[in-house]
Structure 1
Amino acid sequence: METGAITSYIDVAQVTLYAFWVFFALLLFYIRQEDRREGYPLEADQSGFFNRDDWFFVPPAKTFLLPHGLGEVKAPNDKRDNADRPVPGIRLGNFSGSPYLPTGENPMLDSIGPGSWAERADKPDLRHEGDPKIVPLRVAPGFSIAEGEINPVGLRVVGCDLVVGGTITDVWVDRSEQMLRYLEVVTEVGDAPRTILVPINFGVFRKIRDGSRIFYVHALRGEQFALVPGTREAESITLLEEDRITAYYGSGLLYAEPSRQEPLA
């Protein structure tokens, strides 16, 4: 027999190749299980029942320890965001994947389409030190607007209809990423002034005819700033609140004006 041969029909190279195939197959199976830890088993959007075809790849539950002593969570756990808040809308077709038409008084709060939000933890995102990442500049020592950049405090926030929604009173900074996240605004619309947050990436700074600057938000009309979801605390924001606030502005891109739901041509 030649060097490396185990028998006249099997050699080391052949065994190594077969072992690699087995290892690679097991690796693919493991990966396909791990990518189903969240969001599975799938739920049929017509019947509401779980897709039992996923049973082979859905992994057994694993316990994850959360940082900062926030307990533990198991995944997968079959929890659904709409278990306690049914979708306030009707289906536009009797087929899988058909869109929903909001039926609530304010479609921008119905958590449908671009306004969808997930049931994230109702606690602030924390830094390694254990304190909130995103806070107003007034309670973030060591942080300030860079020299030469626009300081938005005092500027007016204007909606797509050019109606002033409020005035910027502070800036919220992400102390981990060292970047601006939100603008704190006191509204000038609605029944009474409110303090709300405007995601910095939902608007642009513009100069108007008199040479002054405004913060223009195309997603909303001026009056709609009055209903932006608020925060429980004045100087911190939870993960759930972040999702709901951002979803409100996202939904405005479709629902703020009736014309935005119509065909372009």
Structure 2
Amino acid sequence: MTGTIVGSIDVAQVVLYAFWIFFAGLIWYLRTEDRREGYPLEADVSGAYNKSPWLFVPPAKTFLLPHGQGAVQAPNFRRDPPPANAERISRASGYPLEPVGDPMLAGVGPGSWAMRQDVPDLTAHGEARIVPMRMATGFEIAAGEIDPRGLAVVGCDRLVAGTVRDVWVDRSEHLIRYYEVDVEGQATTDPDAEEDGFGVLLPNNFVVIKRGRARAPYLYVHAITSEQFALVPARAAARTVTRLEEDRIAAYYGSGLLYALRNRREALL
């Protein structure tokens, strides 16, 4: 129609264009928010920043931590330190890190851990979340279930590594997280250790309860040998475990699935 401005535009077309604009904005927002950690990327060999993702890196946002733990900003462009006990097989791009020394303590491959805060995880009420059951009021082994305290712990070499001293429970999730195992060779400077004892932690995920002679139950750990329990990363305190310590402990057992025995690293054929 002569003289009209919007004569060829209808409501459906306007809605379609509005949806396109909204969807483009949503994609932009999501692609910036998912870059709050781990960006900008680093070059594989030199470690220099890859400039291409700068277009989507968002401005820093402040997150207030609970229980007076302060605040953090993201992105902050801080990087975890590289593993100290590993080196690249080759300087060419794409080559992996090879452990140096004890591979189970190198912090690479299946034994990698994240640099989490070195403080205990807390409940909604500000208490330590994962504690030994001797400190967790109201927790007990369910009637009819096997009480693991006092049972032997057996490694993948079928030898006894130690004895379960206590069970560590998650007071938020109400489940068993770790078994505290008395193993020779573990030392601590914690003042509570003389009173409570100081065993290594064994994640529940790596345990299978089996029965041996006379149907006696025991805890079997396929991940590591009995001798390797002495090198499980220690805790700084007898009654708590920090987030960083949890990651390192779990990584140690995980690394054993590849490095505990020499034949686990070899090809099947």
TM range (shorter): over 0.9
> What is the DSSP-based 3-state SS (H/G/I as helix, E as strand, rest coil) of the residue aligned with 1:168?
strand
Residue aligning to 2:155? 159
Residue aligning to 1:110? 106
In structure 2, relative to structure 1, the CA distance for the partners of 1:53 and 1:139 (3 Å cut) is: same
Residue aligning to 1:63? 62
1:89 lines up with 2:100 in the alignment? no
Residue aligning to 1:21? 20
Shift of residue 152, structure 1, vs aligned partner: 0.3
- 1:143 pairs, out of 135, 139, 147, with 139
Deviations 1:230-264 (A, max 9, x none): 11111111100100100110111111111111111
Which is further off, 87-96 or 225-234? 87-96
1:52 lines up with 2:51 in the alignment? yes
Verify the 8 A CA contact 2:165 2:199 in the aligned structure 1: no
Quote the Cα distance in structure 2 between the aligned partners of 1:43 and 1:213: 50
Residue aligning to 2:208? 204
Verify the 8 A CA contact 2:186 2:234 in the aligned structure 1: no
In structure 2, relative to structure 1, the CA distance for the partners of 1:19 and 1:33 (3 Å cut) is: same
Aligned residues: 258
Quote the Cα distance in structure 2 between the aligned partners of 1:87 and 1:28: 39
Verify the 8 A CA contact 1:41 1:78 in the aligned structure 2: yes
Residue aligning to 2:194? none
- TM (norm. structure 1) is 0.92
Shift of residue 191, structure 1, vs aligned partner: 7.7
Give the residue type in structure 2 aligned to 1:128.
A
Shift of residue 210, structure 1, vs aligned partner: 3.1
Residue aligning to 1:129? 125
Give the residue type in structure 2 aligned to 1:168.
V
Quote the Cα distance in structure 2 between the aligned partners of 1:178 and 1:6: 67
Shift of residue 21, structure 1, vs aligned partner: 0.4
Deviations 1:170-223 (A, max 9, x none): 0000010010000001104x4879511000111101111232111111111110
Give the residue type in structure 1 aligned to 2:69.
L
Quote the Cα distance in structure 2 between the aligned partners of 1:107 and 1:115: 8
Shift of residue 111, structure 1, vs aligned partner: 0.3
Residue aligning to 1:184? 180
- TM (norm. structure 2) is 0.91
Verify the 8 A CA contact 2:198 2:238 in the aligned structure 1: no
Shift of residue 93, structure 1, vs aligned partner: 3.9
Quote the Cα distance in structure 1 between the aligned partners of 2:84 and 2:129: 31
> What is the DSSP-based 3-state SS (H/G/I as helix, E as strand, rest coil) of the residue aligned with 1:63?
strand
Verify the 8 A CA contact 1:87 1:112 in the aligned structure 2: no
In structure 2, relative to structure 1, the CA distance for the partners of 1:130 and 1:6 (3 Å cut) is: farther
Quote the Cα distance in structure 1 between the aligned partners of 2:129 and 2:232: 22
Residue aligning to 1:75? 74
In structure 2, relative to structure 1, the CA distance for the partners of 1:121 and 1:191 (3 Å cut) is: closer
In structure 2, relative to structure 1, the CA distance for the partners of 1:263 and 1:76 (3 Å cut) is: same
Give the residue type in structure 2 aligned to 1:64.
F
Deviations 1:6-43 (A, max 9, x none): 72111222111101100110001100111111111112
Verify the 8 A CA contact 1:169 1:184 in the aligned structure 2: yes
Residue aligning to 2:221? 217
Quote the Cα distance in structure 2 between the aligned partners of 1:97 and 1:67: 40
Q: Among all aligned residue pairs of Structure 1 and Structure 2, give the percentage whose two residues are the same amino acid.
A: 59
Quote the Cα distance in structure 2 between the aligned partners of 1:52 and 1:248: 35
In structure 1, runs of 5+ residues without a counterpart are none
1:99 lines up with 2:99 in the alignment? no
Quote the Cα distance in structure 2 between the aligned partners of 1:232 and 1:191: 12
- How large is the Cα RMSD of the aligned pairs? 1.8
Verify the 8 A CA contact 1:6 1:12 in the aligned structure 2: no
